[in-house]
Amino acid sequence: MQSDLNRNNRLDKLGITVASLCAIHCILLPILLPVLPLIGLSFVGDHTFENVVLIVSMVAGFIALFTGFKRYHRKMYPIYCLALGGLIYSLKESFGEDLHPYLIALGAGLIIFAHVMNVKLCRSCKTC
């Protein structure tokens, strides 16, 4: 069971890293956008890149959280938190440019919080 827990923790760490990088990307993008073509990274400013990163974050998150749910803790709230964070993150365009930084921080924060909760719940499992 310990190797399963380590594998699950790696997925949680991957999810935390991807969500954090995604938030940093979205927050710093307006500042770095003029420089990106000069250094050959213009694809980073594309919406397709942002959507791919969000999808990778959500898939890794769902796998990690579902594995933790199924094998260790049977608590659904980390999965709800992940889904809400992904929903907020993906719908940020609907609320206007002024709220982008706040919605990005809230969505990424909820995704990261879901992974942190999952790690703590998996480690506190008494029946494993």
Distance separating alpha carbons of residues 61 and 51, to the nearest angstrom: 15
| Model pLDDT for residues 48-98, shown as the tens digit of each residue | 877 887 888 888 889 888 988 888 788 899 999 999 999 998 888 888 888
Asked if residue 107 has pLDDT above 80, the reply is yes
Q: What is the mean pLDDT of the segment spanning 92-114?
A: 86
Q: Name, in order, each residue with C-beta under 8 angstroms of 90's C-beta and a sequence gap of 6 or more.
A: 54, 107
Q: How many residues does the chain have?
A: 128
pTM reported for the whole predicted model: 0.74
| Model pLDDT for residues 3-28, shown as the tens digit of each residue | 555 666 777 787 788 777 767 776 77
